[in-house]
Structure 1
Amino acid sequence: MRIEQDPALWPPKITDYMRQDYLKKGLDYFQNNDGKFEASIRKYQKQNRSLSVKLFESRQSNGESYVRKWLMYSQSNGSVYCFVYKLFCSEENNVFTTGFSDWKRAQGKVKSHENSVEHRKHLLTWKTYSKCSKIDVEVTKLLNKEIDYWKNVFRRIVEVVKFIAERGLAFRGEHEIFGSPHNGNYLGILELISKFDPFLRQHLENFGQKGKCSVSYLSKTICDELIGCMGTKIYNKIITEIKEAKYYSIIVDSTPDLSDVD
C-alpha cells in the first residue's frame, strides 16, 4: 500500500493494518514543515495570512520547548492536521482531523488542542501502539516527563491538604494571592515548603499568579475536590468498620454556628 506523505490525501477510514504502516513511517515523514507553505495562504479582508513555522514549536509548562511532531502540514490544501487524531480519533468532523487553517487564531487553537483531554488520550493510545512499532519516541518521552511533573505537584498538594485537615485548621484566607500574609493556610504552607523545595518553588513561580483557565493544582477548586475525595474515603472506612463491628459507640464533637445549629 502506498503511504501518502500528505495527510489530506489519507483515506477517510484507516484500518489497524494501515495504522501500523503509518506509525512505522514515523512522525517526521508526515510533518512537511520545511517552511514551504504557499498553499496555506488565506485572505482575511485585505490582509493575507499563512502558516508560520513557529506553529510547529511549543513551550512546556516546565519552561522547556520542543517540536510539535504530532502536527502535520498538507501541501495540497494548505491545512494542518493532528497525527494522533487522524489515526485514532472517531470524531470525523473534528477540525484537526478534517484540516485546520484559521491562521488568525492558530496559536491559541493549537495550544488548546494540545492540552485537551482527548488529544492526550490519543497520545497515550499512540504510545501503546508504539511498543510494537519502530517509531519516533520523542513525543512519548515528553509526555512521560509532563505526567511525572504533574504527579510531583499533586503529591505535594495532597500532603498539604492532609496536614491542614488532620489538624482542623482553616484552609482559606481573605484572598488567593501568593506572597500575601492573608492568603490562608493552604497557600501559606505551600509557600513555606517552597522555600526548601526547589521543584515547588519553580512551580509557584510559573503558575502562582496564572488566570482561572490555567491548570496548576493550586486553586481552591482543586483543594475542595481533594477535601471531598478524602472525606468520602474516610466516610466509607467508618461505614465499613461499623458494619464489621458487633458493638460500637459514636462520639460527636461539633461547633455551633451563629444560629446555634451544629
Structure 2
Amino acid sequence: MQFPKNAKGRSFSLAYYNQRSKSGIVYRRNWLCCSPTLNVAYCEPCWVFGDRTQGSLNWVNGFNDWGHISRSMTKHESSNNHLSACLIYNKWKSDQVLDTDLDKTLKFKTKYWIKVLERVINVILTLAKNNVSFRGDNESLYDGDHNRGNFLNIIELLSIYDPVLKELLSKDKKCVKYLSPTIQNEIINLFSQ
C-alpha cells in the first residue's frame, strides 16, 4: 500500500505495525492505525477511550512527523494514558458490553413494534374487507364508555387475550401506539397502492 509522502519525502510504513522487543520477539502494534486519506497515524484505544485532558494528543488527533515516529511510538506505548485506554479498550472489545446491550434492546423493541403493527394492520384489513366503519363519536381509549368506534373496540377486545396489545394499551397516554385515525388512513392508503 502506498502512503502519501511529506515535504521531506517521508511517509508512514507498514513496518511500523510490527515492533521487535529487546529479546528479539516481534509483536504487532494492535493499537496503531493509519489514515492514508488524512496522512496521519493514530492510536485507536486512545482515540476512543483516551483521557484528552492529559498527555500528548498527537496520537489521538493524528501523528504525522514521520521522521520521529519510532521514538514517539515507543514513548506513547509506555505512557499511563495509553495503557489505561488500552485496558478499557480491550475490556470493551472482549465483553462488547455497549454494542451487545444496545443491539439486544434494539432487536427487542423492533420485534415488539412489528408485532403491534401486525395486529393493527390485521384489524384494519378485517374492517376494510367487510366495509365496516372504523370510527365512533370519541376516538380516545381514555375517555370513559363513549362510542370509540369499531377499530378501537376491537383492539381493546383483543388486548384481553393478547399480551402484546395489553402492554400497548397499558402504556402512558402520551406514548406512541399507532392507533390514531391518521395511522389507520396511512395503512389503508399503503394497501390500496
TM-score (norm 2): 0.51
Give the C-alpha shift of residue 220 in structure 1: 1.4
Q: What is the alpha-carbon distance in structure 2 between the residues aligned to residue 216 and residue 7 of structure 1?
A: 43
Looking at CA atoms only, which structure, 1 or 2, has the larger radius of gyration? Answer: 2
Q: What is the alpha-carbon distance in structure 1 between the residues aligned to residue 135 and residue 159 of structure 2?
A: 18
Paired amino acid for 1:161: I
Contact 1:181–1:188 (Cα < 8 Å) also in 2? no
Residue 222 (structure 1) aligned with residue 187 (structure 2)? no
Q: What is the alpha-carbon distance in structure 2 between the residues aligned to residue 182 and residue 11 of structure 1?
A: 64
Residue 180 (structure 1) aligned with residue 141 (structure 2)? no
| Corresponding residue number in structure 2 for 1:34 | none
Q: What is the alpha-carbon distance in structure 2 between the residues aligned to residue 11 and residue 156 of structure 1?
A: 51
| Corresponding residue number in structure 2 for 1:200 | 165
Q: What is the alpha-carbon distance in structure 2 between the residues aligned to residue 151 and residue 160 of structure 1?
A: 14
Contact 1:164–1:170 (Cα < 8 Å) also in 2? yes
Match of 1:145 among 86, 91, 108: 108
Change (3 A) 1:134 1:176: same
Change (3 A) 1:134 1:185: same
SS in 2 for 1:195: helix
CA RMSD of superposed structures (Å): 3.2
Which consecutive segments of 4 or more residues in structure 1 shift more than 2 A? Answer: 4-12, 133-136
Aligned counterparts, 1:131-142, within 5 A: 135-136=96-97, 137-142=100-105
Contact 2:124–2:188 (Cα < 8 Å) also in 1? yes
Contact 1:161–1:223 (Cα < 8 Å) also in 2? yes
Q: Deviations over 1:34-63 (max 9, x none)?
A: xxxxxxxxxxxxxxxxxxxxxxxxxxxxxx
Contact 2:133–2:150 (Cα < 8 Å) also in 1? yes
Structure 1: segments with no counterpart, 5+ residues? 13-21, 30-129, 233-262
Q: What is the alpha-carbon distance in structure 1 between the residues aligned to residue 152 and residue 124 of structure 2?
A: 10
Give the C-alpha shift of residue 11 in structure 1: 4.1
Residue 231 (structure 1) aligned with residue 174 (structure 2)? no
The number of equivalent residue pairs is: 116
Q: Deviations over 1:39-89 (max 9, x none)?
A: xxxxxxxxxxxxxxxxxxxxxxxxxxxxxxxxxxxxxxxxxxxxxxxxxxx
Q: What is the alpha-carbon distance in structure 2 between the residues aligned to residue 192 and residue 141 of structure 1?
A: 31
TM-score (norm 1): 0.39
Paired amino acid for 1:195: I
Structure 2: segments with no counterpart, 5+ residues? 1-41, 63-85
